[in-house]
Amino acid sequence: AQTVTQSQPEMSVQEAETVTLSCTYDTSESNYYLFWYKQPPSRQMILVIRQEAYKQQNATENRFSVNFQKAAKSFSLKISDSQLGDTAMYFCASFTSGTYKYIFGTGTRLKVLA
Amino acid sequence: DTAVSQTPKYLVTQMGNDKSIKCEQNLGHDTMYWYKQDSKKFLKIMFSYNNKELIINETVPNRFSPKSPDKAHLNLHINSLELGDSAVYFCASSHSTANYGYTFGSGTRLTVV
């Protein structure tokens, strides 16, 4: 069975600092994809970053980067130069080809402090 | 120009009523989904349609019935609403392979009183 675990319910970071959100997953499949989604107070779910499991190189999108440790089944999100607009719930998700569905973690509520 | 639009955004209704939530996407995606987000923010898939065909039907009470008249639309009808149905319902769409991520609608907050 596919599972996604986010062990940090809440985190806070000072503006301009760096923060890392943790995620571990479990799957028996070899072909899968991992994602981080952001849900700000507006409620809209926004794709932040995507990682293909067969790629060793860590994905980066501007201030957002991941640390993908395949053997450890770990997929953490690093946010550099945190901004007030980064305040949101962050969900880690996994997708296995052929299943059509994503499995989401329980989310980490991140607050960026001025 | 909204990619995935859901209506209504808010829905307050009494127990026992029947209600529908509509979803439309203009991205040319062929797969659409309904997710339920509970009060603890947990997201759980309910249904998925690929080219109008039901491909995922999770353990959901049969009071919930999805309908996809075409691949750009996926509606959710709920009969005999219960207090426990109160949640945010998200529609999403993707290409068939879905490995590039979902595009979500803005959600419908359903409150049953």
pLDDT in tens, B28-77: 999 999 999 999 999 999 999 988 889 888 878 999 999 999 999 999 99
Cβ pair A78, A22 in contact under 8 A = no
Cβ pair B31, B47 in contact under 8 A = no
pLDDT of residue B1: 66
Q: What is the rounded average pLDDT of the residues A65-79?
A: 96
How far apart CA A10 and CA A109 sit, in angstroms, is 5
Indicate yes or no: CB of A45 within 8 angstroms of CB of B104: yes
**Number of other residues whose CB lies within 10 A of the CB of residue B11:** 19
* Mean of pLDDT over chain A: 93
DSSP string, B60-95: --TTEEEEEEETTEEEEEE-S--GGG-EEEEEEEE-
Q: Please check whether residue A104 touches B, CB under 8 A.
A: yes
Q: In the predicted model, is pLDDT for residue B11 greater than 80?
A: yes
- From the candidates A66, A96, A102, which should be mutated to test the interface with B, based on the most B CB atoms within 10 A? A102
How far apart CA B74 and CA B103 sit, in angstroms, is 14
**Number of other residues whose CB lies within 10 A of the CB of residue A95:** 27
pLDDT of residue B96: 76
Percent of chain A, pLDDT > 90? 81
CB contacts, 8 Å: A42 with chain B: 106
pLDDT digits (tens, 9 = 90+) for A2-39: 899 999 999 999 999 999 999 999 988 888 999 999 99
Residue B90 is nearest to which of A45, A46, A95, comparing CB atoms?
A45
User: Which chain A residue has its CA at the smallest distance from B4's CA?
Assistant: A44
CB contacts, 8 Å: B44 with chain A: 104
Residues in chain B whose beta carbon is closer than 8 A to a beta carbon of chain A? 31, 33, 40-45, 48, 50, 55-56, 88, 90, 92, 97-104, 106-107, 109
* Closest Cα in chain A, distance from residue B66 (Å): 16
Residue B55 is nearest to which of A35, A42, A100, comparing CB atoms?
A100
> DSSP 3-state assignment of A22?
coil
User: Which chain B residue has its CA at the smallest distance from A101's CA?
Assistant: B45
pLDDT digits (tens, 9 = 90+) for B75-104: 999 999 999 999 999 999 998 777 788 999
Q: What is the rounded average pLDDT of the residues A38-65?
A: 93
